[in-house]
Structure 1
Amino acid sequence: MKKRIILLDTTLRDGEQSLKFNLTTKEKIEIALALEKMGIDIIEVGFPISSPIDYKTSKELAKIIKNSKLCGLARCKKKDIDMVYHSLKKTDNFRIHIFLATSPIHIITKLKTTFNKVLEKISFMIKYARQYTDDIEFSCEDATRTPINNLCNVVQTAITAGATTINIPDTVGYIFPQEYYNIILNLKNKVKNIDKCIISVHTHNDLGMAVGNSITAINAGAQQIEGTINGIGERAGNCALEEIIMALYTRKKNMNFYTNINVHNIYYTSKIVSKICNIPISINKAIVGSNAFSHSSGIHQDGMIKNRNTYEILNPKNIGLNKTEFNLTSKSGRAAVKYHMDLMGYKENTYNINLLYDNFIKLADKKGQVFNYDLESLAFNSLKDNNTEYFSLKYFNVESNSHLSIATIKLQCGKVIKLESATGLGAVNAIYKTIIRITNYNIKLINYILKAKSHTEKSIGEVNIKIKYKTKIFNGIGFSKDIIKASVIAIINCLNSIWRSNQVQKNILKINQS
C-alpha cells in the first residue's frame, strides 16, 4: 500500500528570508491561496513574533485559508508560542512549530548553554504549547551536525513532552543522502516512542543535495517533507517542492509514495511566487524553467516528433504548461523545420524543403535562434526580400524628466524617410509610441528584458523584446552601449520581421491565385 507524503510549504517563512524586502499581507495572501489551490497540506505562514506585519498577516490568513493547515514558527520562548496561538486561533486547523538548536557548535557558541539544559527547555516549552493545540512540531535545528545519540535523546524528549511531528532539518545543507538515510534509520531503530510521531525533513541546497536528501529521507521512513516553491530560501535555498512532487509523480510505479497535490497547478504557482518575490526562474531550473521542455538538438527533435517519450520523461501539460518547444537553431535538422512548417499549416508540396533547410542553416548560423516567421520568409519570399532591411534607423533622440519622456525618431522606410515624435511614460514607452506613428503597425509590446554584458563603463547593453502583431509574436534583439539605442534597434528588428511576414502573405496570395 502506497504511503502519503505530507508536504509543508515554507515559502512564506523560510522563502521570504531570502528576499531583500518583506512581502506585504496582500502578496502573502495571493501566494497562500495559490498554495492552497495546489493542495499543499501545511502552509507555514511566518514567524509571528518577528514583526507586526508577520503577526497581522498570519491573523488574516487564518480567516481566509480553509483547506490547508496553517503553521507558525516559534523559538523555545513563551512569548513566541503565545504569538503563534493568538495569530492563528481563528482557524480550527493550526500547528505550532517550535525549534531549538541541538548541535554542539550551536549549543556552545550561540546558545552558550549545556545539552542537558537544552533538553529541559525543549520539554518545558512543548508542554507549554500543548495548552493551545495538540498539533506541535519540534525542529532540532542543525540536526545533521548533532551526534546521533544526542539527537535520539532530543527526539525522545520532544515526543514524550507531546510533540506530534519531529523535524530533522539539514539546516546548513551539510549532509549527503546516504548519511541522511542513516540518521533517519537510527532514529527509527533507537528512539522507543518514535512511532508516536511523524518524522519530517527540511533540507537546504548549499551542496546541491536538498531534493536528493529529501527523497532519500522518505525512503528511510520520513513521512513529511518541508520545502519552498522554486526552491527559494536562505543562502542557496531550500528543497524545491515542485521537484519533489514531480519526482514522486513521474516515478510512481517505482516508489511507494504519493502526495495529494494538484500537479496541474504547479506551473501557475511557480510563476506567482517568482513574480511576487521578484526572483527570476533560471532557464535550466528543473520542472519549471523555460528550457525544461525545450529541445534544440536535431537528433532530440526528430526523436520527439516520432515519440515524445524518447526525450521527455514527463508531460508539460501535467504541471499546467501547454506545450513542448523545439528551438530552431543551427543544431536543428530537417525534421524540425518540416515540423514547424506543418504546424503553420504549410504542406510540403508548397515549398522546397531542401532549399528551405539550406537557407535556414545559413540564417541560423548568422542569427542564432530562428522563429516560425523566419521560416515563412525563407520559404516564400524572394532572396531580395529576405535580405532587405525595410526599416533602418537614421536618427533618434529621447528627452526625459520626472513625469514624461519625448522620443524623436527618423526611420528609413523603404525609399521614404519619416520623422515623428511622441511622449510616453518612460523612454521605452515614448519610443514605442513614436514607431507606431511612423509605421502604422498596430503592435503591442508584451515583453522587455534588459541585460548587461558586463559591469564596466564600457559594458554593452542587450535588449530582448517580444512584440505582438495581429496573431503573431515577433522577437527582436538590440545591442548598444546606450540602452535606449539598444531598445530602438530591438524594435526595428521586430519591424523588419513583421514587414517580411507581410510580404510572405502577399506572395502566398499570388501563388494561390496563379
Structure 2
Amino acid sequence: MSTPDHVRIFDTTLRDGEQSPGCSMNPAQKRVFARALAELGVDVIETGFPASSVADMEASRAIAADLRETTLCGLARCSDGDIDAVARALDGAARPRIHVFISTSPLHREHKLKLSRDEVLARAVAGVERARALVDDVEFSAEDALRTEEDFLVEIFSAAIAAGATTINVPDTVGYTTPGEIRGLFERLRARVRDADRAIFSAHCHNDLGLAVANSLAAVEGGARQVEVAVNGIGERAGNCALEEFAMAVRTRGAYYGVDTGIRTPRLLETSRLLTRLTGMAVQRNKAVVGANAFAHEAGIHQHGMLRHRGTYEIMTPESVGWPATQMVLGRHSGRAAVGERLRALGYVLDDGTLAQVFERFKALCETQRVVEDADLQRLVEGESASGEGWRIAALSVADGRRSAHAQVVLSDPDGAVVTETAEGDGPVAALFAAMARATGVALELESYQVHSTGTGADARGEATLSVRHGDDAHTGTGNSHDIIEASALAWLEVANRVRRATGTGNGERETGASTRSTTPAPLPA
C-alpha cells in the first residue's frame, strides 16, 4: 500500500478569516489563536497583512517570537513597501514565508489595476524576485485566477517559478468555480506550467456558492498539495474553505483521495470554540463537524439505528474531532427505544407497561417542549413531587447601568429554603450568572452563549443556549421563556442542577470560591 501524499494546511484565519465583518482580533487575541493553530498541527499560518495596519504588524511580530516549528507567512501586494513590511514583521521567525499577490483576471486588470497583461506580468516577477531576495520561501498568488485566461495563468506562473516562487496559489477569489472545472484546471496547469515540479500548487477557495470545501477537494484530485483554509470557514463574504470540514473529509475518505494532513483532529472542536470566544461569531448548530447538532440524533429511526450500531448514522466518531460523545436528543421525533435507553442510563429499570405509560407522558410533554432533558424524564417517572428537584427561580431582576450591570436572584433550594444573592458584571447576563453562581454555590466557566427567537407573533419565545465547563466536564444548557433574561437563568440552572445531581453540590454544601467566569470577550446581549 502506497504512502499517502501530504497536503499542506495553510491557515488564513488570522488574515482572510479576520477580514470577515465582525471577526477582527487584536494582536493579543491573534497571538493566542496562532498558538492554538500550531497545536492543531497546521503547516503554515498566515499571520496577517502587515502593511495594512499597525495591529497586523504587531501581531505578526509577536507570533514570530512565539512559534518556532510552524511556517509563518505574511501577505503583500507586488510592491516594495508591502514586501519589506512582511520581512520586518517576520524578522527573526524560524520559518518565514512572504506571500505576494497580484490580480490577473481581465475584469481586475481593466477595472481595478488599469494595467495590461505585460504590466501585470512584470510586476509579478519583480515582486517575487524582491521577496526571494529576503526569504527562501515565497508564495505567489494570481488573484481571481479562476476568471483569468488559462494561457496567461500558464505564463505568469511559469515566470513566478523562474523568479523564485516555491508555492503557486490558484485562488478562486470570488467563489465562482465548480469541482469539475477546478480539478481540470489544476491538472492542465501542472502539465503546462514550466518547471511545475519545482513548486507546490495551492488552492484557495471561497464559499460564495457553498462549494469551497468541494472545490478544494477537487483541486487536490487535480494535484494541489496545499489547501488554504480558515477555522469555522470564516472569511470575506460567505467565507473560506472550512479547515475542520476539509481535514475530516480527507481523513474520513482517505482511501479515496490518497492524501493526508498533519491536523490533530481531536483538537478541532476546542479550536473552533476558541475562535468563537475570540470573535463572538457563533457557529450554526447544523455546521458540519463542530456544530452543536453534528453528532446529535433526535429522529426515532436514527436513534434506533444508533443504539444498534453507531456506524448506521455516523461516518466519523465524535471523539475524533473533540466531542465527548454522541448526543441522543429526546424530542417529539424520538421513539420508545431511545427514551427507554436514556431511562436505563439514569438508573430506571421499567417494565414494558410502565415504560409505555412514561412514553405516553413523554410524547405529551413534547407538544409543549422542544427538548426533553434528564430532569424532565425524572419527573415523568417519579412525578412532580420527586425528590432532588433542584434549584428553582422564585424571582430575579437585572439593572443595566452605564459602567456595569447589577443582578439579584431569589432561588428556592432543593430543601425548600429561599436563597437571595446579588452580583455585578460587565453586562446584564454576566451579572445574572455571577449571582446564580453565588446562590447555588456551583462554579461554571462560560464558554459560549447564544439567544434566538422560537415561534412567531404572540407565541414567540426566547431560547437561550450556553456551553459551560465544570471542572473537566463540558455541559450545555437550554432555557425557554417569553423573557430572555429568564430563559438565560433557566439555561444556567439546568446545568447547575445537573451538576448538583451528579456531585451532591448545592445540598447545603458549596464549592469553594464558586463564581461564573466568562471567557467570551464579545459583549453579552442586553
Q: What TM-score, normalized to structure 2? A: 0.84
1:20-419 aligned at under 5 Å gives the runs 20=22, 22-348=24-350, 352-379=354-381, 381-382=382-383, 398-402=398-402
- CA displacement at 1:373 relative to structure 2: 1.7
The secondary structure found in structure 1 opposite 2:169 is strand
The aligned residue for residue 11 of structure 1 is 13
Query: What's the CA shift string for 1:169-207, capped at 9, x where partnerless?
Result: 000000111111121122122223212211101000000
Give the CA deviation at 1:400.
5.0
CA distance in 2, matches of 1:398, 1:32: 37
Helix, strand or coil at the partner of 1:11: coil
Deviation at 1:377, TM superposition (A): 1.9
Cα distance in 1 for residues equivalent to 2:468 and 2:28: 31
Aligned to 1:510: none
**Does the C-alpha gap of structure 1 residues 458 and 193 become closer, same or farther in structure 2, counting only changes over 3 Å?**
same
* Aligned 8 A contact 1:443 1:467 in 2: no
Say whether the 8 Å CA contact 1:45–1:72 is kept in structure 2.
yes
Give the counterpart letter for 2:363 in structure 1.
I
How many angstroms apart in 2 are the aligned matches of 1:60 and 1:371? 46
Shift of 1:157: 1.2
Note the C-alpha offset of 1:348.
Answer: 3.9
Amino acid corresponding to residue 49 of structure 1 in structure 2: A
1:346 CA drift (Å): 2.9
Deviation of 1:20 (Å): 2.9
State the alpha-carbon separation in 2 of the partners of residues 432 and 94 from structure 1.
45
Residue 133 of structure 1 and its aligned partner are, at CA, apart by 1.7
The 1:383–1:77 alpha-carbon spacing in structure 2 relative to 1, beyond 3 Å, is closer
Residues 62/487 of structure 1: CA separation in 2 closer, same or farther (3 Å cut): closer
Task: Return the offset for 1:402.
Answer: 3.7
Match in the other structure for 2:510: none
One-letter amino acid matched to 1:13: R
CA distance in 2, matches of 1:486, 1:365: 19
Post-superposition Cα deviations, 1:483-513, rounded to whole Å, max 9, x if no partner, equal 44655677789999999999xxxxxxxxxxx
Q: Call closer, same or farther: CA 1:329–1:14 in 2, change over 3 Å.
A: same
| Aligned partner of residue 46 in structure 2, secondary structure | strand
Whether 1:450 aligns to 2:446 is no
Task: Label 1:330 to 1:96 Cα distance change in 2 as closer, same or farther (>3 A).
Answer: same
Q: How big is the shift at 1:112? A: 0.6
Could you say if the C-alpha distance between residues 29 and 474 of structure 1 is closer, same or farther in structure 2, counting changes exceeding 3 Å?
A: closer
Query: Distance between the aligned counterparts of 1:498 and 1:52, measured in 2?
Result: 46
The 1:204–1:406 alpha-carbon spacing in structure 2 relative to 1, beyond 3 Å, is closer
- Which piece of structure 1 moves more, 270-279 or 71-80? 270-279
* 1:430 shift after superposition: 6.3
Aligned residues of 2:304 and 2:338 also touching (Cα < 8 A): yes
Q: Is the 8 A contact 2:461 2:480 kept in 1?
A: no
- Whichever residue aligns with residue 368 of structure 2, its letter is K
Name the residue aligned to 1:479.
481
Counterpart CA distance in 1 for 2:36 and 2:178 is: 32
TM-fit CA distance, 1:303: 0.7
In 1, Cα distance between equivalents of 2:296 and 2:30 = 32
Are the structure 2 counterparts of residues 476 and 86 from structure 1 closer, same or farther at C-alpha, using a change threshold of 3 Å? closer
Query: Is the contact between residue 334 and residue 357 of structure 1 (CA under 8 Å) also seen in structure 2?
Result: yes
SS at match of 2:16: helix
CA distance in 1, matches of 2:62, 2:326: 39
Q: Structure 2: which amino acid aligns with 1:149?
A: D
Taking the aligned partners of 2:187 and 2:37, their CA distance within structure 1 comes to: 31
Change (3 A) 1:160 1:246: same
Q: Deviations over 1:431-490 (max 9, x none)?
A: 6687789xx75456666543356999998644456899999979553433x544655677
Gaps (5+ residues) in structure 2?
Answer: 504-526
The verdict on how the C-alpha distance between 1:479 and 1:196 changes in structure 2, with shifts beyond 3 A counting, is same
CA distance in 1 between counterparts of 2:364 and 2:52 reads 60
Q: Does the CA-based 8 Å contact 2:409-2:422 persist in structure 1?
A: no
Check conservation: 1:428, 1:484, Cα contact below 8 A: yes
SS of equivalent residue, structure 1 residue 366: coil
Q: Which residue identity is paired with 1:229?
A: V
Task: Give the drift of 1:351.
Answer: 8.7
The verdict on how the C-alpha distance between 1:33 and 1:410 changes in structure 2, with shifts beyond 3 A counting, is: closer
Q: C-alpha root-mean-square deviation of aligned residues, in Å? A: 3.7
Displacement after TM superposition at 1:423 (Å): 5.2
Q: Measure how far apart 1:424 and its partner are.
A: 3.6
The secondary structure found in structure 2 opposite 1:140 is strand
Q: Is the contact between residue 169 and residue 204 of structure 2 (CA under 8 Å) also seen in structure 1?
A: yes
Aligned CA distance change for structure 1 residues 191 and 392 (closer, same or farther; 3 Å) = closer
The alpha-carbon deviation at position 347 of structure 1 amounts to 3.1
1:410–1:420: 8 Å Cα contact kept in structure 2?
A: yes
CA contact (8 A) 2:44 2:70 kept: yes
Deviation of 1:226 after TM superposition, in Å, equals: 0.5
* 1:191–1:346 CA distance, 2 compared to 1 (3 A): same
Structure 1 match to 2:514: none
Q: CA deviation at 1:210?
A: 0.4
8 Å Cα contact 2:9-2:227 kept in structure 1: yes
How much has 1:17 moved relative to structure 2?
Answer: 0.5
Contact 2:141 2:171 survives alignment (8 Å): yes
Distance in structure 1 (CA, Å) of the matches to 2:251 and 2:271: 17
Contact 2:285 2:291 in 1 (8 A): yes
Matched-pair identity in %: 36
SS in 2 for 1:44: strand
Q: 1:20 to 1:407 in 2, by over 3 A?
A: closer
The question of whether the paired residues in 2 share the 8 Å contact of 1:103 and 1:145 is answered with: yes
Q: CA deviation at 1:216?
A: 0.5
The CA deviation string for residues 130-189 of structure 1, in whole angstroms up to 9 with x for no partner, is 211221110000000001111111111111111111100000000111111121122122
1: CA distance, partners of 2:166 / 2:467: 52
Deviation at 1:94, TM superposition (A): 1.2
